[in-house]
Chain A
Amino acid sequence: MTRADIFGGVLLAAGFGAVLWEASSFQYGTEFAPGPGFTPVWYSVIGIVLSLSIAGLAWRAVRQSPQRESDSDDRLDAAGLLRVGAALAGMAAMLLVTSLVGLLPALLAFLLYLTLVVQRLPILPATGASLATVVFIYFVFVHFLGVPVPTGPLGF
């Protein structure tokens, strides 16, 4: 348990609180049977108890041995986080442009961005892996399995 677990536990408890708030607007039960709100209410109550338990245990652990916070394992790697954020942003952008350019071109653009910009691979393996992936996907999913993918102005 680390300081991050205190924050995570409180955040999750707040999330479960929001779920409880929303669930309280559902019908809890009828005369003899539970309604749609029954399980969400109880799940969120259990979730709040578990989240706060994690936060509490982590708080105690940090208070008892504060030196653990200096452990290198607990520190976040900013460059690594940037790579992950960039990859997620790339996937989101791919989804946004798919309806304009088609799924396969959007995927190819994303994979080139991922390999060349995020992973900084040399140009040959990066383009090779990206192109090979899209060609494989075209043959397996589009050609062989007949999956209708959104197409762009170029027809694919």
Chain B
Amino acid sequence: MEFGDLLLGFSIAFTPTNLLFAFVGVLLGTIIGALPGIGPSAGVAVLLPVTFGMPPVTAMIMLAGIYYGAMYGGTITSVLINTPGESASVMTTLDGYQMALRGRAGAALGMAAIGSFIAGTISVVLLMIAAPPLADFAVTFGPPEYFALMVLGLTTLASLTGDSMLKGLLMAVVGLILGTIGIDLMLGAPRFTFDNVHLLDGLDFLPVAVGLFAIGELLYNLYRPVRAEPIKAKLSGLLPTRQDWRDARGGVARGTAIGFFVGMLPGAGATIASFLAYATEKRVSKRPEKFGTGTIEGVAAPESANNAASTGALIPLMALGIPGSGTTAVMLGALTLYGMQPGPLLMSTHPDVFWGLVASMYIGNVMLLILNLPLAPVFASILRVPYSILIPIIIGVALIGVYSFENSLFNVGVAVVFGGIGFVMRLYGYPPAPLVLALVLGPMLERALRQSLQMSLGSPEIFVTRPVSAVILAIAAAAVILPLVAWTRTRLAARALAS
């Protein structure tokens, strides 16, 4: 990293247009995060078409703003209605809501905003330091290493998402198969097109992502309406007291470190980071019995972690071109739509995009702090809008957004079909994120696999004889095998106990 790169980034981020769209992004992200049921993946997917007329750097600034803004917004619902706005805020409900019941909702939201700001800012510094050398290292990667990395991303996401690892893996396989639809890129043969011209170019990720993340979720809310009334809390005292700060500062520091490193791992993401940060905080606390009753460190640690993780997740995306979560998969799709080749060369071929994004994240975090401290009551008032009114608005925007992607009604039909599929998946606990990630990665993974096998004249040994790919594949295998071993041991122990 050179200082000049960062200066270039700030010169881009400080243009009036980019400042405006960074603000729009973090504002929309906060609102999206505050609405229960609409997560950052759905938000980014639905709003992606709005960015089509923008320069790529402006679009990425806005999309990233939505992503990390949603992490801030998710706290509001967790604290005020005991319902996480998105999955990364689940742990915040445990102590945040208890604090609100005791009249300290303002302190909980304030500490979450300040913790998120500190975590977000430190993580951007770490992103700036870690991404360029990683990208330099990854330039030496060949198809076998890329194949291994993509397998790692898919297996970790599939094994960490949802209640059942098998269901996550299965959804990844479904996504991979959907990714094979269309003309085979290496030999030109059509696959699974059934003489439909719309399928020759394959299934676009956007209609599928909007269908699964947004329409499926909204249909689920039609099926089982959200009935959440915010508690009538007075949002005063948003700035933490000296005692609050003393109690929470360790949680913020540990949450930031855990969040950033977990977020950086392909597939792990903000939800796992917040779980780990909360568990760690409880373990190191001198008063673990107080957790769950309204401790401020129980809010500070997971909130810092989820914000740090959302920045950490940009490292594999920007340095390797490998998204580690549903949201970053949508952002990867966005990069390709803007005509960029995601991967280690992105930073050298499009330094404006990477450094403009980095600089905008410093600014975005300041904007979020300013927005979230004085305006917390305004965001809280969004929760008073009945969800039933929001459903038609979001469905309408989602459907037209999908249409505007390629001016194609076929894509709208795909989104509707995947909306129905997403609803059934939600009903039976099949996670959508591995499917979308696999759909985005599928064609790249297949190309890397086939190029690798061409290099080795058909021998799969190439994946284990090259040290980097061997190590990455071993980690991927461990991500699948270790939970299975733990599950088997638990079952054997339970059986022994029963007998």
A35 and B400 contact, Cβ closer than 8 Å, known pairs A47-B173, A91-B416: no
Tell me which residues across on chain B come within 8 A of A77, comparing CB atoms.
223-224
Asked if A44 and B423 sit within 8 Å, CB to CB, the answer is no
B63 to chain A, nearest CB (A): 16
Which of chain B's residues have a CB closer than 8 A to the CB of A38? 450
Residues from chain B with a CB closer than 8 A to the CB of A40 are 177, 180, 191-192
A43 contact from B180, B404, B428, Cβ within 8 A: B180
Q: How far is the CB of A49 from chain B (nearest CB, A)?
A: 9
Q: Is the CB of B176 within 8 A of A39?
A: yes
Contact A33 B397 (CB under 8 A): no
Using A57-B166, A137-B397, A145-B404 as known contacts, say yes or no to A114 and B392 having CB atoms under 8 A apart.
Answer: yes
Contact flags A65-107 to B (C-beta < 8 A → 1, else 0) = 0000000000011001101100110011011001100010001
**Complex partner residue of A132 from B223, B393, B419, CB under 8 angstroms:** B393
Which chain B positions have C-beta within 8 A of A51? Answer: 170
Identify which of A22, A87, A115 gathers the most chain B CB atoms within 10 Å of its CB: A87
* Complex contacts, A36 vs chain B, CB 8 Å: 184, 186-187, 189, 191
Closest chain A residue to B405, Cβ basis = A147
Q: How far is the CA of A137 from the CA of B409 in the complex (A)?
A: 16
A39–B191 Cα distance when bound, in Å, is: 11
Say yes or no for A148: interface residue by CB 8 A criterion: yes
A57–B177 Cα distance when bound, in Å, is 24
Establish whether residues B397 and A133, one from each chain, have CB atoms under 8 Å apart when the complex forms.
yes
- Per the 8 Å Cβ criterion, residues 101-125 of A in contact with B are 103, 107, 111, 114-115, 118-119, 121, 125
Q: Which residue of B lies closest to A44 (CB)?
A: B177
B178 to chain A, nearest CB (A): 10
Inter-chain CA distance A22–B420, complex, in Å, is 24
Report yes or no: A80 in contact with B224, Cβ–Cβ below 8 A.
Answer: yes
Q: How far is the CA of A146 from the CA of B391 in the complex (A)?
A: 25
Cβ–Cβ contact A133 & B396, under 8 A? yes
Contacts of B167 on A, CB cut-off 8 Å?
54
Note all chain B residues with C-beta closer than 8 A to A118.
Answer: 222
A44 / chain B contacts, CB cutoff of 8 Å: 177
- What residues on B are CB-neighbors of A150 within 8 Å? 409
Q: For residue B391, which residues in chain A have a CB less than 8 angstroms away from its CB?
A: 114, 119
Contact of B404 with A88 in the complex, beta carbons under 8 Å: no
B450:A129 contact, CB within 8 angstroms: no
Interface size classification for chain B: 35 or more
Instruction: Give the size category of A's interface with B.
Output: 35 or more
Given A34-B449, A115-B392: A46 and B173 interface contact (C-beta under 8 Å) = yes
- Pairwise interchain contact A87-B219, C-beta atoms closer than 8 A: yes
Which stretch (B98-106, B364-372, B452-460) binds chain A? B452-460
Q: Mark A1-12, 1 if CB is under 8 A from B, else 0.
A: 100110010001
In the bound complex, residues from chain B placing their C-beta under 8 Å from that of A81 are 223
- Smallest distance from the beta carbon of B421 to chain A beta carbons, Å? 11
Partner of A33, one of B222, B223, B419, B458: B458
Q: Separation in Å of the B27 CB from the closest CB of chain A?
A: 15
Main SS of chain A's interface residues?
Answer: helix
Residues of B near A95 (CB, < 8 A) are 409, 412-413, 416
Give the shortest distance, in Å, between A105 (CB) and chain B (any CB). 13
The residue on B at minimum CB distance from A54 is B166
A-B Cβ contacts below 8 A, count = 160
B458 to chain A: closest residue by CB = A32
Whether, in the assembled complex, B388 has its beta carbon less than 8 Å from a beta carbon of chain A, the answer is yes
In angstroms, Cα B450 to Cα A5, docked, is 34
- A26 beta carbon closer than 8 Å to chain B: yes
- By a CB distance below 8 angstroms, the chain A residues around B184 are 26, 36
By beta carbon, the residue of chain B nearest A140 is B50
Known: A8-B428, A27-B187, A33-B454. A43 touches B176 (CB 8 A): yes
Interface residues of A in 124-141 (CB under 8 A from B): 125-126, 129-130, 132-134, 136-137, 140-141
B339 proximal to A (CB < 8 A): no
B399 an interface residue at 8 Å Cβ cutoff?
Answer: yes
Contact of B166 among A50, A99, A132 (CB under 8 A): A50
Give Cα A21–Cα B409 distance, bound, in whole angstroms. Answer: 30
A1–B164 touching, CB < 8 Å: yes
Are the CB atoms of A136 and B397 closer together than 8 Å?
Answer: yes
Q: Is B446 interfacial (CB-CB < 8 Å)?
A: yes
A80 touches B174 (CB 8 A): no
A32 touches B457 (CB 8 A): yes
Taking the closest CB of chain B, its distance from the CB of A133, in whole angstroms, is 4
- B245 in the interface (beta carbon within 8 A): no
Do B187 and A35 have beta carbons less than 8 Å apart? yes
Q: When A and B form their complex, which 6 residue pairs have the shortest distance between CB atoms, in order from nearest?
A: A80-B223, A36-B184, A133-B396, A147-B404, A33-B454, A50-B170
- 24 A-B pairs whose Cβ atoms sit less than 8 Å apart in the complex: A1-B164, A8-B430, A19-B192, A26-B184, A27-B189, A33-B450, A33-B453, A38-B450, A39-B450, A54-B164, A84-B420, A87-B219, A91-B395, A91-B416, A103-B400, A111-B392, A111-B395, A111-B396, A119-B222, A130-B392, A145-B50, A147-B400, A149-B403, A150-B409
Report A's interface with B, CB cutoff 8 A.
1, 4-5, 8, 12, 16, 19, 22-23, 26-27, 29, 32-36, 38-40, 43-44, 46-47, 50-51, 53-54, 57, 76-77, 80-81, 83-84, 87-88, 91-92, 94-95, 98-99, 103, 107, 111, 114-115, 118-119, 121, 125-126, 129-130, 132-134, 136-137, 140-141, 145-150
Seen from chain B, the residues whose Cβ lies within 8 Å of a Cβ on chain A are 49-50, 52-53, 164, 166-167, 169-170, 173-174, 176-177, 180, 184, 186-187, 189, 191-192, 219, 222-224, 386, 388-389, 391-393, 395-397, 399-401, 403-404, 407, 409, 412-413, 416, 419-420, 423, 427-428, 430, 446, 449-450, 453-454, 457-458
Contacts A8-B428, A19-B177, A119-B222 supplied; 18 other A-B pairs, CB < 8 Å? A19-B192, A26-B189, A35-B187, A36-B186, A40-B191, A43-B176, A44-B177, A50-B166, A80-B222, A88-B419, A92-B416, A98-B409, A114-B391, A115-B392, A134-B396, A140-B50, A147-B407, A148-B407
